[in-house]
Amino acid sequence: MSALPLPAALVEVLARGDVWRGDMLARLPESAIPSGHAELDAELPGGGWPRGNLTEFLVDRGGFGEMSLLLPALAHLSVGGGWLALVAPPWLPHAPAWAAAGLVLERLVVVKAGRQAAWCCEQLLACGGFAGVVAWPEAGIDAKALRRLQVAAEGQPTLACLWRPLAQAATPSPAPLRVLLAAGERGLSVRILKRRGRPAAPLLNLSIARPGRLPRALAGPSLSLAGTRGAAAAPVA
């Protein structure tokens, strides 16, 4: 039995860009930033990492090259003249690796925020002066603080990303996009836990170089231990 045709007026309404249908990915008010992986972009609303909304990355333990997933987008923003902020990173950026990935290091600022990471992130998002803000908030950040970050990100042409422990995956979050990351056979195992639109593919395995498989400047840890170098978190040059 064939389906009845939709009324012409309804067809026109459904064709509007501000109307979302449950069988399609949501459209974004701000242009998305390509991730550098076509198979991942096909699963991301807007075809890339969203601006003007929070994106959460959930990992069990870091150090498996997870930051490499964001480097193409961060490089794109810095080459375009945008400022980037890393708020309370557990590691300091490994400058040769980031430069090899195409980042303009003079546009990168590292903020030592301590227990004020969420507050600092909110101020950086609200000021509108940064093209990308990547933060590692304290593990006990509450729902109210997360909501404030989402509100601060909304309407801003900013890539806003939070790194949180995998244990928080079962905790509700206002972030429209939540991504689980783990080490995979070829590089990174990626699962989209939450997005606006139809259910995501169960698992993506992306070919991303992991530490130790290529020279350090290309595939070493994207962030180097701050404690082992004794360096203060400051603008990277």
pLDDT at 201 over 90: no
Can you give the pLDDT at residue 65? Answer: 84
H, E, C per residue of 163-212:
EEEHHHHHCCCCCCEEEEEEECCCCEEEEEEECCCCCCCCCEEECCCCCC
pLDDT of residue 207: 84
User: What was the pLDDT predicted at 221?
Assistant: 40
Min mean pLDDT across 19-28, 62-71, 100-109, 137-146 is at 19-28
Q: Convert the pLDDT of each residue in 48-72 to its tens digit.
A: 999 999 999 999 877 788 899 999 9
pLDDT over 90 for what percent of the chain?
54
pLDDT value at position 92?
87
The pTM of this model reads 0.78
* Confidence band, pLDDT 50/70/90 cuts, at residue 203: confident
Q: Which residue has the higher pLDDT, 113 or 7?
A: 113
Q: Which domains does the chain have, with CATH numbers?
A: 37-208 (3.40.50.300)
Mean pLDDT over the full length of the chain: 80
d(CA 118, CA 60): 20
* 23 band by pLDDT with thresholds 50, 70 and 90: very low
pLDDT given at position 2: 54
Instruction: Give the tens place of pLDDT for each residue, 181-193.
Output: 998 777 889 999 9
SS3 content of the chain, % helix, strand, coil (to 5): 30, 20, 50
pLDDT score of 223 = 47
Q: Quick check: 109 and 83 in contact, CB under 8 A?
A: yes
Q: What is the mean pLDDT of residues 31-50?
A: 92
For the record, the structure tokens of 231 come out as: 């360096």
- The model's confidence at residue 161, banded by pLDDT at 50, 70 and 90, is very high
